[in-house]
Chains A and B, each alone.
Chain A
Amino acid sequence: NAGVMQNPRHLVRRRGQEARLRCSPMKGHSHVYWYRQLPEEGLKFMVYLQKENIIDESGMPKERFSAEFPKEGPSILRIQQVVRGDSAAYFCASSPGGQGYEQYFGPGTRLTVT
């Protein structure tokens, strides 16, 4: 049973370009969460999605960031017009839903903005 898959593992973008990060949840998991870890900090929640629905986006910056989890295919975190401060590790997690279920994390995408 494959775990949470994220790609690419490393992404380098110049300031002003777009970054697209992909996440495929574990088989049987319908809940996806995105977190960001800045250097020397803990993980910060960004957004929680179920298929075709954004459930909680309280941690998403108001501009340039968007997320989707379509009916078919992976969840996508999109960052438009990247700036140096977007450089971080972005982690996706999934859970099967229900109460108290643990979230299982992917290996992360390390975004570097030059």
Chain B
Amino acid sequence: DQQVKQNSPSLSVQEGRISILNCDYTNSMFDYFLWYKKYPAEGPTFLISISSIKDKNEDGRFTVFLNKSAKHLSLHIVPSQPGDSAVYFCAATYYFGNEKLTFGTGTRLTIIP
């Protein structure tokens, strides 16, 4: 049962344009969401998070949007840079309880120079 889904396995975006990565979840009990970036042969690196009491969180070039009614979140990267080429994972958990992260299957983002 895949509770967190990233339906686009890959995405190519021109350098300087906006990258939009999408994530859907099925478990309505999730109330804290995170995005991680992963390069080959390295561990995931935390990017940005959002709790369910918000619908938007920004950090520099990265913005995460949360639509609770649709059980959907997205990560916007603007402007996209070549160093952003990596696999992006969204993850979901519970704000109270230090619970495990449930990950999506990832989206491979390629930034075209």
Partners in one complex: yes
- B-binding residues in A (CB < 8 A): 4, 6, 31, 33, 35, 41-45, 48, 55-56, 58-59, 91, 93, 95, 97-108, 110
Whether the Cβ atoms of B105 and A41 lie closer than 8 Å is: yes
Q: Is the CB of A107 within 8 A of B100?
A: no
What 9 pairs across the A-B complex have the smallest Cβ distances? A105-B43, A45-B100, A42-B103, A42-B105, A43-B103, A100-B95, A105-B44, A102-B46, A107-B43
The residues in B between 58 and 107 inclusive whose CB is less than 8 angstroms from any CB of A are 89, 95-106
- The interface residues of chain B lying within 8 Å CB-to-CB of A33 are 100-101
Selected from B49, B102, B106, the residue in CB contact (under 8 A) with A100 is B49
- B42: chain A residues within 8 A (beta carbon): 107-108
Q: Which residue of B lies closest to A9 (CB)?
A: B41
For A58, the chain B residues whose CB sits under 8 A away are: 100
Q: In the bound complex, do residue A4 and residue B100 qualify as a contact, i.e. CB atoms below 8 Å apart?
A: no
Q: Provide the bound-state CA to CA distance between A52 and B33, in Å.
A: 28
Query: Interface SS of chain B: helix, strand, loop or mixed?
Result: loop
Known interface pairs A100-B95, A102-B49, A108-B42. Does A42 touch B106 (Cβ–Cβ under 8 Å)? Answer: yes
The residues of A that contact B102 with a CB separation of less than 8 Å are 45
Give CA–CA (A95, B32) in the complex, Å.
15
- Asked if B98 and A31 make an inter-chain contact with CB atoms under 8 angstroms apart, the answer reads yes
Contact call B95/A4, Cβ cutoff below 8 A: no
Are A91 and B100 in contact, CB atoms less than 8 angstroms apart? no
A108 to B38 alpha-carbon distance, docked (Å): 12
Chain B: CB-nearest residue to A6: B43
- Identify which of A6, A42, A101, A105 contacts B98 (C-beta below 8 A): A101
Complex contact A44–B103 (CB within 8 A)? yes
Question: Could you pull out 5 A-B pairs where Cβ atoms are within 8 angstroms?
Answer: A43-B103, A44-B103, A91-B44, A107-B43, A108-B42
